[in-house]
Amino acid sequence: MALFSQPTARALAILDLLMANPQQAFGLTEMTRRLNLNKATCHAILTTMSNYGFLVQHPKTKAYRLGPSIIAAGNAAFAQFPVLEYARPELESLNSDLSLGFAVTARSKLHQVLLALYGNATPLMDSFQLGLRLPNTAPIAACFTAFSPAKQLEAWLTRAHESRGGYNERLDQKLRVSVIAIRARGFEVTLKTRAEEELTRELTRIHQSWSLEELEEATNKYQQDACLEHYHLDRIDPKARYDVSTIAVPVFVYRQVPVMCFVAGSMAAPITGAQIEDIAGRMKQSADKVTRLASGHEHSGV
């Protein structure tokens, strides 16, 4: 079992709460209520984080916001992930031209992370905003996995089987078909599900009583339930209509594995297969442009 540090989790819960509510500041009383922390414990953490500049406290209201050290950390991370600089104008243009919401996601070993939003992406993403972490476990994050080495695919599948209590041949075959389809056409399409509706409700509820443990429990349940539903659209009929949740395309830098994905959402009504392909085509053009810019080939024709 992985080691777990409760004091670290408390500090991270504070950062998570403030990242997910960037327009709000929180006083000690509200912070302790939301995080279900002892007041003395919470005050000690907040004071320490403020002393080191990770939080700032308003001199009159005494409410806390993210501080300059977090900005410095963000800028340092941004410098190591400059592809986002090239992505911003492309996604702003897509948001304006297509009247859809867009998001940027990245992947760590165990999570898919929401990095940026342009417009209203999906009810799920909007219910949490930046920093949303979903399990990097099948069927989630398939757009990353489809273009990754075989060992990452097998690990992604294994985590899904373990989450469901053991190997399931039917599930394994279904997930492999989805990955093959995504890789063949170059983009992922997910459908609206009951699992997504339930997670959206849970995230909205958790906003009122913040807990990293509850967040992890809710997102893990979402992943497990999604395994049982028609989550991926594997075959696209141009004339048929589909209740689409997201369309995702990978963004590469050195033509190896995706560094991030562009994700379109907020389709209010079912759309045709032809519309899916048109949207994905526009997104792929933008993703290819970002790849060329980030790899220094914009003017070389590579």
Residue 229 makes CB contacts below 8 A (sequence gap 6+) with 193, 194, 195
Distance (Å, whole) CA 263 – CA 121: 8
pLDDT recorded at residue 126:
60
Distance (Å, whole) CA 33 – CA 36: 5
pLDDT recorded at residue 6:
83
pLDDT recorded at residue 1:
45
DSSP-derived secondary structure letter, 239:
T
Strand partners, 129: none
- Please state the φ and ψ torsions of residue 56, each to the nearest 5 degrees: -125, 145
Integer angstrom CA distances of residue 133 from 60, 108, 137, 144, 214: 34, 10, 12, 15, 12
Helices within the chain (DSSP H only): 6-20, 28-35, 39-51, 68-79, 83-98, 123-128, 142-145, 150-163, 169-185, 194-206, 212-226, 273-294
pLDDT recorded at residue 276:
98
Residues of the chain where predicted confidence (pLDDT) is lower than 70: 1-3, 121-129, 208-210, 254-255, 297-302
